[in-house]
Structure 1
Amino acid sequence: MPDLDRTRNLWPQIVDDLRSRLRAGEWAPGERFPGTVALAAEYGTAQATTQKAVVALRAEGLLRLEVGQGNYVTDVAPPDV
């Protein structure tokens, strides 16, 4: 379980962590992204918290939602230099 600062909002920290992991290639483009239940278990948070993080990643274009199927990784931009 990644270290989260429990004195701050959790979902932005999760977004940062997941963004880094996506850019590092942990999930390949086109690969199904873990669901919010699995992410909540991994981070030790409520499902609603990980849902906010996933929505933010979709807004950034890092994930795409396929209704009834889940979220999939898009072509991830290289890390910021």
Structure 2
Amino acid sequence: MAELDRSRNLWPQIADDLRRRLRAGEWASGERFPGTVALAAEYGVAQATTQKAVVALRTEGWLRLEVGQGSFVTDGPKGED
């Protein structure tokens, strides 16, 4: 986990770190992604902060939401190398 700069907005930093971890293969395609409560505990931030980061990753195509099941890792955004 990356060190967070608490003088700046936290959710973009968390999203950047999660992107890095996804690119590194920490979670496989199709694997259930950690929930926002677990991520909040890991990063030491409020759940709303990790929710913003996860929504950004979904919007970019890193994750897909399955209602009632959670977020799952995709093959990555279209156009990603």
Shorter-chain TM range is over 0.9
Give the unaligned 5+ runs of structure 1. Answer: none
Normalization by structure 1: what TM-score? Answer: 0.93
Percent of aligned pairs with the same residue?
82
Cross-structure match for 1:23: 23
1:28 positional shift: 0.1
Indicate the structure whose relative CO is greater, using CA pairs within 8 Å and at least 6 residues apart: 1
Normalization by structure 2: what TM-score? Answer: 0.93
The 4+ residue runs of structure 1 with deviation greater than 3 A are: none
Give the unaligned 5+ runs of structure 2. Answer: none
Cross-structure match for 1:4: 4
Q: What is the number of residues matched between the two proteins?
A: 78
Cross-structure match for 1:71: 71
- 1:6-57 Cα deviation digits (max 9, x unpaired): 0000000000000000010000000000000000000000000000000000
2:15 and 2:29 mapped to 1: Cα distance?
Answer: 18
2:16 and 2:22 mapped to 1: Cα distance?
Answer: 10
Please give the root-mean-square deviation of Cα atoms over the aligned residues, in Å. Answer: 0.9
Counterpart residue identity of residue 66, structure 1? E
1:2 positional shift: 3.3
